[in-house]
Amino acid sequence: MPTSSRQFKDAIFEQFARLGKALAAPKRLELLELLSQGPRTVEVLASLANVSVANASQHLQVLRAARLVEAEKRGLYVQYRLADDQVARFCLSLRELAEARLAEVEEVTRSFLEEREVLEAIDGDELLARVRRGDVTVIDVRPREEFQAGHIPGALSVPLGELQSRLADLPTGRPVVAYCRGPYCVLAVEAVARLRKQGWEAHRLELGVVDWRARGWNVEVETRP
């Protein structure tokens, strides 16, 4: 135990640094973003993050040691989840700080989106008003499990892999707005590009469910049987 003020301060900042060390890997940040959408197994997280199961497991163990995530054994699989909503808010704040301080974030994003001609994005407030008026069809192109864990009210679950086969289900005569996990998720970017090639008026919503909830707006959860 610390016996002097200097030792006390050193001990406290050492604990704070534990979080910094746990977050000092891009893949761990991506895993946290994925878990902010809902609980997932190691195998699913590895696939979504494009890493091996062993690599994903090692990253998750580091995050667990820092008490940012929790694990639960379910049959043959281990399912991970964020420790609590505070972790999701912290990740959102970290992203916003990076956007404010690092010009490279905007440069990389603009280059990627301009190449795909989906640079513009609908603002959340505008979308909400248009949804309430029934002016647009909102589709959630994330995997169905993430939709079930929480989605924007009124959105239709149309996972990206099912988009082509589900076009007939979309109401005609109205623009389509696609969203996924947030401004740096490429699922909605791809969905908008595909829809436009098919002749639809399509737009991308930058906000994901975490951003939506952070603004104090309601999120719907689908109760599974």
Q: What is the model's pLDDT at position 80?
A: 98
Q: What is the model's pLDDT at position 21?
A: 96
The rounded distance, in Å, linking the Cα atoms of 63 and 140 is 28
Q: What is the model's pLDDT at position 224?
A: 60
**Is the pLDDT score of 39 beyond 70?**
yes
Lowest mean pLDDT of 39-43, 119-123, 128-132, name the range. 119-123
The rounded distance, in Å, linking the Cα atoms of 36 and 19 is 17
Q: What is the pLDDT of residues 148-182, one digit of tens each?
A: 999 998 899 999 999 999 999 999 889 999 999 99
**Is the pLDDT score of 1 beyond 80?**
no
Q: Last residue of some domain: 59, 87, 115?
A: 87
Query: Same domain, yes or no, for 78 and 108?
Result: no
Query: Same domain, yes or no, for 172 and 122?
Result: yes
In-domain check, residue 219: no
Domain of residue 184 covers 103-214
The rounded distance, in Å, linking the Cα atoms of 41 and 54 is 13
Residues carrying an active site annotation:
180
Of 156, 182, 149, 160, the closest CA to residue 79 belongs to 149
In-domain check, residue 144: yes
**Is the pLDDT score of 32 beyond 70?**
yes
Of 173, 179, 124, the closest CA to residue 150 belongs to 179
Q: What is the pLDDT of residues 182-210, one digit of tens each?
A: 999 999 999 999 999 999 999 999 889 99
The rounded distance, in Å, linking the Cα atoms of 73 and 61 is 14
